[in-house]
Every structure is written in C-alpha cells, then in structure tokens.
Amino acid sequence: MVANELTFLVIEDDDFQREVIVDILGRLGSKNIQEARTGTEALNILKDSTLSSIDIILCDLNMPEMDGMEFLRHIGNSHSSIATIIMSALDGALIESVRKMASAYGIYLLGAIEKPITPAQLEALFSIYKSRESKQKQEFKHGSLFTLGEILEGLTNGDFVPFFQPKIHLATGKLIGAEALARWRHPQRGVIAPYAFIDLLEKSGHIDILTFTMLEQSAKACKLIHEKGHEISISVNLSLTSLADIKLADKITHIVLESGVNPKFIILEITETAAMTDMAPALENLARLRMKGFGLSIDDYGTGYSSMQQISRIAFTELKIDQSFVREMTTSNVSKVLINSSIEMATKLQMKCTAEGIETKNDWEQLKSMNCELGQGYYIAKPMSLDEFLKFCEQNLN
C-alpha cells in the first residue's frame, strides 16, 4: 500500500470525523498519523523539528480560530513543498474556488475532495502523489540552476534532443503520434528536463534557437519513423513569443521540407506561456502554416491567455486538455464538466481532442467514456529517446 510509506497530518475540528479519517488511513496501511483540531495546533506540529517530516496534510476548511483558508496561506508561505488535500462538506464550487486560491499561494495541492471522505478517493490521490513524486525526483534530482551562457553553449554543442511521448487513440489503443519534448543531455549532469531552461530562453529572446533545433531533429526523426513503417505524426512545441517574426512560417516550412517530410505529419503546439502581443504577424504566420498543411494544436487548453478567443481567431486542428484538469477529474466535478465541454466543443469544431497527463487506467476509461479521441501521459508511456520510441512503435503495431 502507498499509505504505509507516508506520514500524514489530519486537521479536523470535529472529533468523530477526525477519527473516521484516521481510521481510513489506518486501513489503507498508514502507521504515521499526526492529528490536530485547529490550524494553530497543526502549525505548531509542523514547526516541531523533533517530529517526523509530514508528507501529506489533510485539511478541513471550516474550522474555529483559524479557518482552512488562513491555514493554507501559512502553508504556502512556509511549507509549500508538503502535499495538501482539502476536505470539506461545503459546496463543490466553493471548494473549487479554494483550490484555485491554494494553487495561487504556491501550495503543492494534491486534490480537493467533498466529505464524506472515502478510502477510494484517498487511494487515488496517494497513487497520484507517488507517481508525481517519482517523476519529480527523476527530473529535479540535480536541483541546479543554469546560466543562459551554459544553456546556449549546450545548444551550440548539440546537447539538446527531442524525447518522444506517445499519443494514442483512446478507443482502440492505437499509436497515432508523439509529442517531441526538449531534453538537455548534459555531459556531466545527465538528462535535464525543460523546467531548467525554457523560461530563461523565452525571457532572453533565445527560444527560437531551441525551437528550430527541436523542429529539425523531430522532422528527421519523423522521416526515420515513417521509413520503419510507422506513419504517425510528430508534435513540436512553438512558443507564442516566436510568432512575432513574420518569416517564421517560411523558416519552419523550409526545415520540414528539407527533411523530406510532408508538413501534414507535423503538428505545431502553440504554448500560451506569454500573451499574444504582436497579433497581426502571429495570425499571419499561423494562417500560412495551416495553408502549407501543418497541423495546429492549442496546448494546455484552459490555462493560458484567452484560450476561447484564440480558438475563434486561429484555424486549430487539435485541442489539448491540460493535465491539471485530468489530474483533478476524479475529485473535482468542475474539472470533469470543463473536460466534457472542451471535448464537445472540439468535436463540433471538427478538431481532434487530446487529453494530457493520463496517469491511471481510470483516467483512460473516464476520458474514453467522454468520447475524448486521443491521450498521452505516464500511464501510456513516459517521454523516451528516439531509439526507445522506435522500439515502442514496434511493440505497438496494430
């Protein structure tokens, strides 16, 4: 059981309800449970260095002295690395509002669930916690910050490569494509994930160097994959900040055609990490790319800047549901409704709909039942090198 490896702090002012939650945790295998009636008691427990470190906090919202909102603010300021689960008998929309507030405070929020709490709800969240912790340990194990000079040197030396995460058809399990995700194969520190370099490249105006590096390598990989008998598409991320360059579409088209790949097999995922400031050249570039046959995907739908407005302006061929909604689908009715409406909208607009962040079989089954067409995530496969991806293709012949 996942729970037997973790230390919990349960904050609930009602003695009976607190005992019920502690009993559930015990039945799930937990041997390390701290209890608090109020937020003040809980903060004192967290400050006590003689106690074992807490892995997961289960926090009620409606408490005396210090309500859950104030407690969460304190957690965000001093213990934001501890995973937190919000529990409440309050209205689901209000719980969702508090969930957004917690995220804004920088809290590592595992989920928000309505009372009465069930073992199944907690087990699902603990499984997500274990999966996410495993990935974070892998990606953040070096914990180092790099200078822009080091990143640019790595790009010059050819140390940046695409890793490929499979995209599958949810109804049939058939492999239909992959997303190319940038990885830095650092000569001393191993494989470095994008968190270490994307922001700095965007803010310094150097993101195009990475974009063209990934595009060129991904197009060549696409050509090789097709030659091996797997006619799939490859998705490559394109930052909104790059779209101000009026010649961008022509540069992208030249790179892909030079690689011997038909543009219809390349999907450009538009990431909304920045507001679209230069509207006219961006729209011109995107229209030209569609005219050349490229697919256009709106990435992380629902989390960026005016996503619905972007859909009305740009001829997107795919909508990608952000993993944060998928992650909360089983515990948040609001997230489930938003996913459903996104799928319906994509269908009516004749766009493919892809769900990101599928981490469990239940995620897959739920999304399939909602008629979501495509999916990707760790339950299907993690991002992998080209050699590993070619083996994956061979093993998933349909």
Residue whose structure tokens are 């650092």: 186
Q: What are phi and psi of 230, to 5 degrees?
A: -115, 100
CA–CA separation, 232 vs 265, rounded Å? 7
**Does pLDDT of 50 surpass 70?**
no
Residue with the bigger pLDDT between 23 and 301: it is 23
**Does pLDDT of 304 surpass 70?**
no
Pick the range with the lowest mean pLDDT from 114-123, 296-305, 363-372: 296-305
CATH topology (fold) of 3-139: Rossmann fold (3.40.50)
Pick the range with the lowest mean pLDDT from 59-63, 371-375, 389-393: 59-63
Domain ranges of the chain: 3-139, 144-395
pLDDT at position 159 is: 96
pLDDT at position 64 is: 80
- HSE of 251, CA atoms in CB hemisphere, 13 A: 15
Q: Indicate the residue type of 220.
A: K
Tokens of 398: 């349909």
- Burial class of residue 111 (count of CB atoms within 10 Å of its CB; 0-12, 13-18, 19+): buried
Mean pLDDT, rounded, for 206-213? 94
Q: Is domain 144-395 annotated with CATH 3.20.20.450? A: yes
Range among 104-108, 212-216, 312-316 with highest mean pLDDT value: 212-216
Distances (CA, A) of 380 to 166, 300, 349, 359: 7, 19, 27, 8
Residue with the bigger pLDDT between 215 and 88: it is 215
User: Within the chain, what is the greatest distance between any pair of CA atoms?
Assistant: 69
Per residue in 373-391, pLDDT tens?
999 999 999 999 999 999 9
Per residue in 315-355, pLDDT tens?
899 999 988 889 888 877 888 998 999 999 999 999 999 99
Residue with the bigger pLDDT between 103 and 390: it is 390
pLDDT at position 307 is: 64
Distances (CA, A) of 3 to 8, 72, 220, 280: 9, 23, 45, 53
The DSSP result for 244-291, as a single string, is G-TTHHHHHHHHHHHTT--GGGEEEEEE-SS---SHHHHHHHHHHHHH
Per residue in 175-202, pLDDT tens?
999 999 999 999 888 899 888 898 889 8
Question: What pTM, to 2 d.p., does this model score?
Answer: 0.70
CA 67 to chain centre: 30
pLDDT at position 230 is: 95
Tokens of 194: 């994008």
Q: Which DSSP helix (H) or strand (E) runs through 149?
A: helix 148-156
> How many Cβ atoms from other residues are within 10 Å of residue 283's Cβ?
16
CA–CA separation, 66 vs 187, rounded Å? 50
- Work out the angle between the directed axes of helices 207-227 and 148-156 (0-180°, nearest 10): 30
pLDDT at position 153 is: 94
**Does pLDDT of 24 surpass 90?**
yes
Q: Give 103's contacts (C-beta < 8 A, 6+ positions apart).
A: 109
Mean pLDDT, rounded, for 213-231? 97
pLDDT at position 141 is: 44
Residue 51 per-residue DSSP state: S
Closest by CA position to 316, among listed 300, 297, 303: 297
Tokens of 68: 């859950």
Whether the CA torsion 139, 142, 144, 150 is positive or negative: it is negative
Tokens of 85: 């689960």
